[in-house]
Structure formats: structure tokens, C-alpha cells
Amino acid sequence: MYATRNQEGIMQVSRAARYILFGLTAGWLTVGLAVASLLVGLIWSESLVRYPGAARLAAAPLRLDTLPEGTISQHSAYQTADDLPQVLGWYARSFGLGHDEPQGDTCLTMTRVDAPLFLQHSLAVTLCSHPKRTLVFVNRSLAVHW
């Protein structure tokens, strides 16, 4: 920092240096708050993507190792006693998921990607039909999209 010394020996920081320091601090604070709000949003919205009455089989913690690349992701697995068409209909209506892609004989994947402004939100739901249950695998991610 640039500083000038007056005769009493008191350090004074120039006005320009103070403005620069304030701008840098405000910028980093804004970035930190944005990242924190994205993390809270992903954690909070986990309950929104769970099929009603489905039991959780597994939920991976938020993957933050890809944060330097600009991506946060989470994977969850659920099971329900409802049949595949009923679960498929709920996800299609609730989230506007499309692009049904068969994944073998008993599974299919539906996806949705939204890219408002500079964020890309991806949601992929894979449904697998079994005789007495339907397995639901949910993959969500947020990525910075320039």
C-alpha cells in the first residue's frame, strides 16, 4: 500500500489505496456470499426433488472438490412402492423433465438443464422398475456458465 508519513510519525493511507482495498473486500465478500447461498440452496432443495413417500437409500454429500472448476453436485438414491409410470408422471409434472432415455430393460433417465444468466442447473433423474418397488436416482448440479 502507498502511505505517506507526516511530521508526527503517523501513517496515512492514501484515499485511492483505501478505495481499492474496499473494492477488493466487497468483491470477495460478494463472491463468498454467492457461493454460500448456492450451497444452502442445494441443501434445502434436496427435499423438493424427493418423490413423496420415498425412502432414502443413500445420499452423497455435496461434492465440493469440483468447486475450483465452478461446479457443485449431489447424488441421492430413493426407493418407493409406487410403480414406474406413477413416479415418472410425478417427476415429469413437477420438474418438466423430458428426454426419456432408456437405460437397459428396466430403467430410464429424464433430464433438464436450465441456464439462467451465468449459472447452469442440471437435474437428471433415473428411474428403475423392480417387481415391488421403483428405485429413484437423482443427480443435481450447479455450474458457472460463462
- Beta strand ranges found along the chain (DSSP E): 3-5, 11-13, 55-59, 71-80, 98-102, 107-114, 119-130, 133-144
Number of neighbours of residue 134 by Cβ within 10 angstroms? 23
Q: Residue ranges of the domains in the chain?
A: 49-144
For residue 97, report the phi and psi dihedrals to the nearest 5 degrees: -75, 145
Fold of 49-144: TATA-Binding Protein (3.30.310)
pLDDT in tens, 88-134: 899 888 888 876 777 778 899 998 888 777 778 888 899 999 889 99
pTM above 0.75, yes or no: no
Between CA 32 and CA 40 the distance in angstroms is 12
Mean pLDDT of 73-100: 86
Rounded to the nearest angstrom, the gap between the alpha carbon of residue 110 and the centroid of all alpha carbons in its chain is 18
pLDDT in tens, 54-68: 888 876 666 666 666
Distances (CA, A) of 133 to 2, 124, 128, 130: 69, 20, 9, 5
